[in-house]
Chain A
């Protein structure tokens, strides 16, 4: 009896599902860092045009690209957000599934800040300090490496305070973590000449040394929720947190960004390209869907409008650091002209 009713229900479901497959709504997936910006544009787009509000899913950059590259057709997403550039392996995956024409769109920057509680003094760090404090293995001074021995900041650099190294940051699944490893850790790592030389002779060893974070409890994986890190920083004045600039901006009354390489984590500094730990944000569009799913071209026009991504646009209010005016012009032409990605 149960098998019988099972089959009837399944058949009924298929029958009602079949005729409504034509999608009239843009489907966006991808990075949780780009999510706040993408959703803001989607909402305005839905309200100011006759098109339906695009559905934006937060799947992470890698997850988004995987869905995006699964194929062409109404059941695959039209746009994917990424907090890093698409990899050549992902372009190949896309191509093998028939997604050959991809339009790349760079939309702005995101600064990664190291912040601590306002009740403690502001930190002034160099990339080398960050690397020495957080790497799993550090140079031993004799051309070799040893497990990270440092427990307080002043052991890393005599100018820093004598407090315990306690850093709350994103887990390995996060795009922020990848960017932090690449920009901050590697940036500090290659200030050692012999490590820089290692890059040419043994790239995997170089990457392992520079990108691996310590696992002895000094670096604490605090999950993907940046609000949680801010709360923990308030509770623990000695701790330092790693998160995106928009969270620093919203919580500037309780936490302060550290000065990195002499540059403070401020909007203008990141926009000018002076702040060293800043990454570009992207989205990718499937050309084959433009004209098939209604509204994609108009959505791209909305995104590249000066009122949206310009210096005074509404995305800047949400914490996106805009591209320079010339870059915006170049990218806008590329995006609206649907210029295919060329790796």
Chain B
């Protein structure tokens, strides 16, 4: 005779053990994934911390009439004025090589900063003024202890002479570190100390806006037609199979398509967020259509049937009763698609958005770049200080992403109907 108790696993302690085992496996899986996440975010956050503050250096600049013509302050040679201010601080620096090192304490941006300050506050003119100017990336790295001074002089970026000057400046209170707002308000730059994320952020924002404006209505329209109105025939099946396939096509293919159609045939401006958004829209369309169809399908058929039974036309039944209930699901699908688009660089490469853009784009037709592209370009730059910028840019991208997901959750909460 067969022992059914044993065969079917009726032994209680064995079953409990199995359950415990499974639960522990699940918990450790979650723990491991959390650990990796913490490692990733932790290492990025540690690197990005350096961007929070930026060193500044106080320099006496001579803005007297001999240097700056009060009638035409815009054309003065501010770069030279800053350099002579530095020379006055350390008068015993004489040879060419040392002078060059001395000038390197201040960011090459220093002269432009003085010009901007003068333009903003013309009453600075007329005599010597103490101005706080952005220090160079090397000085900043030294102040933060990132330079190993035990190494021989030729193996580090900051020479002994520079260290002596920095120490003097520090003891005289002519150095300070301030909150680095410039990172959020500046465009890209080849000088790490003034490079900012704004041009890439605005570029991403414009591209996503174009992408949403195109992909959402088209995707929802296509989904409603395919799900509710399309006749069940071979053509519909073919379209459905193709949409599912398109969702899996590598994104670079959409970039190539954009290059040949939007730039080649339609002649739209290269590097612009308009084209970027259109390419990203092509890429997200299948995702949105698939998610929207799933959302429509999850609405109980009784809704539509009841509306039809009450004499509503099919269009009325769909738009008055099915669509509002499916809307939160559609939005979620759209946001997931957009989040994916936010992280794309490959298609943007083909349409010229992998570019060095200093000016903040003012419209969707001006050249722009995007956040992930900016991360890629900074990660590829030789200057050490760009490592921190890269990490900080990743954080900005993550915050952008979290904000998008938050909007999706809030919208869903607000729109969701419970039944």
Which A positions have Cβ atoms within 8 angstroms of B? 1-2, 5-6, 9, 13-14, 16-17, 20-21, 23, 25, 27, 29, 32, 35-36, 39-40, 42-44, 46-48, 52-53, 55-59, 75, 118, 224-227, 244, 246-247, 249-253, 312, 314, 317-319
A227 x B358 contact (CB < 8 A):
no
User: Please, how many angstroms separate the alpha-carbon atoms of A246 and B382 in the complex?
Assistant: 7
Set of chain A residues within 8 Å of B225, measured between Cβ atoms: 1-2
CB distance from B206 to the nearest CB of A (A): 13
B156 x A252 contact (CB < 8 A):
yes
User: Is B320 positioned at the interface, with any CB of A under 8 Å from its CB?
Assistant: no
User: Is B154 positioned at the interface, with any CB of A under 8 Å from its CB?
Assistant: yes
A6 x B367 contact (CB < 8 A):
no
> If A2-B218, A5-B218, A251-B384 touch, does A17 touch B190 (CB 8 Å cutoff)?
no
Set of chain B residues within 8 Å of A52, measured between Cβ atoms: 359
B221 x A57 contact (CB < 8 A):
no
Set of chain B residues within 8 Å of A226, measured between Cβ atoms: 380, 382
A17 x B268 contact (CB < 8 A):
yes
25 pairs of residues in contact across A and B, judged by CB atoms under 8 Å: A2-B221, A2-B222, A6-B218, A13-B266, A17-B266, A17-B268, A17-B269, A27-B270, A27-B271, A29-B352, A42-B356, A43-B189, A43-B358, A53-B357, A55-B356, A55-B357, A56-B356, A57-B271, A57-B354, A57-B356, A75-B270, A118-B155, A227-B382, A252-B155, A319-B382
A253 x B151 contact (CB < 8 A):
yes
In chain B, positions 84-108 with a C-beta closer than 8 Å to chain A are 96, 100, 104, 108
In chain B, positions 214-237 with a C-beta closer than 8 Å to chain A are 214, 217-218, 221-222, 224-225
> If A36-B190, A317-B104 touch, does A13 touch B382 (CB 8 Å cutoff)?
no
User: Please, how many angstroms separate the alpha-carbon atoms of A58 and B270 in the complex?
Assistant: 14
Majority DSSP secondary structure for residues of B touching A? loop
User: Is B69 positioned at the interface, with any CB of A under 8 Å from its CB?
Assistant: no
User: Please, how many angstroms separate the alpha-carbon atoms of A14 and B269 in the complex?
Assistant: 11
> If A43-B189, A227-B382, A251-B384 touch, does A55 touch B156 (CB 8 Å cutoff)?
no
User: Is B9 positioned at the interface, with any CB of A under 8 Å from its CB?
Assistant: no
Set of chain A residues within 8 Å of B355, measured between Cβ atoms: 55-58
CB distance from B350 to the nearest CB of A (A): 10
User: Please, how many angstroms separate the alpha-carbon atoms of A269 and B142 in the complex?
Assistant: 28
User: Is B143 positioned at the interface, with any CB of A under 8 Å from its CB?
Assistant: no
A247 x B377 contact (CB < 8 A):
no
Which residue on chain B has the smallest CB distance to residue A40?
B190
Set of chain A residues within 8 Å of B346, measured between Cβ atoms: none
User: Please, how many angstroms separate the alpha-carbon atoms of A226 and B263 in the complex?
Assistant: 32
Set of chain A residues within 8 Å of B221, measured between Cβ atoms: 1-2, 5
User: Please, how many angstroms separate the alpha-carbon atoms of A91 and B266 in the complex?
Assistant: 28
> If A1-B221, A9-B218 touch, does A225 touch B379 (CB 8 Å cutoff)?
yes
Set of chain B residues within 8 Å of A247, measured between Cβ atoms: 382
Set of chain B residues within 8 Å of A57, measured between Cβ atoms: 271, 352, 354-356
Which B positions have Cβ atoms within 8 angstroms of A? 96, 100, 104, 108, 112, 147-148, 151, 154-157, 189-191, 214, 217-218, 221-222, 224-225, 263, 266-271, 274, 278, 352, 354-359, 365, 367, 377, 379-384, 387
B352 x A32 contact (CB < 8 A):
no
B156 x A39 contact (CB < 8 A):
no
Given contacts A48-B112, A118-B155, 5 further A-B contacts (CB under 8 A): A5-B217, A21-B269, A23-B269, A42-B356, A249-B382
User: Please, how many angstroms separate the alpha-carbon atoms of A57 and B355 in the complex?
Assistant: 4
Set of chain A residues within 8 Å of B274, measured between Cβ atoms: 13, 17
User: Please, how many angstroms separate the alpha-carbon atoms of A40 and B381 in the complex?
Assistant: 12
B155 x A75 contact (CB < 8 A):
no
Set of chain A residues within 8 Å of B270, measured between Cβ atoms: 27, 75
Set of chain B residues within 8 Å of A75, measured between Cβ atoms: 263, 267, 269-270
B358's contact among A16, A53, A244, by CB below 8 Å, is which? A53
B382 x A55 contact (CB < 8 A):
no
Which residue on chain B has the smallest CB distance to residue A67?
B352
A39 x B382 contact (CB < 8 A):
no
User: Please, how many angstroms separate the alpha-carbon atoms of A300 and B339 in the complex?
Assistant: 41
B384 x A250 contact (CB < 8 A):
yes
User: Please, how many angstroms separate the alpha-carbon atoms of A221 and B358 in the complex?
Assistant: 32
CB distance from A107 to the nearest CB of B (A): 15
A227's contact among B217, B268, B352, B379, by CB below 8 Å, is which? B379
Central interface residue in B100, B268, B382, by most chain A CB within 10 Å: B382
A25 x B379 contact (CB < 8 A):
no
> If A9-B214, A21-B269, A40-B190 touch, does A53 touch B359 (CB 8 Å cutoff)?
yes
CB distance from A310 to the nearest CB of B (A): 12
Set of chain A residues within 8 Å of B154, measured between Cβ atoms: 252
CB distance from A64 to the nearest CB of B (A): 11
Which residue on chain A has the smallest CB distance to residue B147?
A253
A253 x B190 contact (CB < 8 A):
no
User: Please, how many angstroms separate the alpha-carbon atoms of A299 and B66 in the complex?
Assistant: 30
User: Please, how many angstroms separate the alpha-carbon atoms of A20 and B14 in the complex?
Assistant: 75
User: Please, how many angstroms separate the alpha-carbon atoms of A312 and B154 in the complex?
Assistant: 18
B380 x A46 contact (CB < 8 A):
no
Set of chain B residues within 8 Å of A29, measured between Cβ atoms: 352
User: Please, how many angstroms separate the alpha-carbon atoms of A20 and B382 in the complex?
Assistant: 36
Which residue on chain A has the smallest CB distance to residue B79?
A48
CB distance from A152 to the nearest CB of B (A): 28
Set of chain A residues within 8 Å of B266, measured between Cβ atoms: 13-14, 17
User: Please, how many angstroms separate the alpha-carbon atoms of A244 and B381 in the complex?
Assistant: 12
Which residue on chain A has the smallest CB distance to residue B384?
A250
User: Please, how many angstroms separate the alpha-carbon atoms of A337 and B352 in the complex?
Assistant: 30
A55's contact among B214, B271, B365, B381, by CB below 8 Å, is which? B271
B267 x A21 contact (CB < 8 A):
yes
CB distance from B96 to the nearest CB of A (A): 7
Central interface residue in B189, B266, B356, by most chain A CB within 10 Å: B356
Which residue on chain A has the smallest CB distance to residue B266?
A14
Which residue on chain B has the smallest CB distance to residue A118?
B155
CB distance from B151 to the nearest CB of A (A): 5
User: Please, how many angstroms separate the alpha-carbon atoms of A247 and B383 in the complex?
Assistant: 8
User: Please, how many angstroms separate the alpha-carbon atoms of A19 and B108 in the complex?
Assistant: 38
Set of chain A residues within 8 Å of B191, measured between Cβ atoms: 43
B190's contact among A5, A32, A249, A318, by CB below 8 Å, is which? A318
User: Please, how many angstroms separate the alpha-carbon atoms of A2 and B148 in the complex?
Assistant: 63
CB distance from A109 to the nearest CB of B (A): 16
Central interface residue in A36, A314, A319, by most chain B CB within 10 Å: A36
Which residue on chain A has the smallest CB distance to residue B189?
A43
CB distance from A261 to the nearest CB of B (A): 21
> If A27-B270, A226-B382 touch, does A253 touch B148 (CB 8 Å cutoff)?
yes
Which residue on chain A has the smallest CB distance to residue B263?
A75
Set of chain A residues within 8 Å of B356, measured between Cβ atoms: 35, 39, 42-43, 55-58
B380 x A227 contact (CB < 8 A):
yes
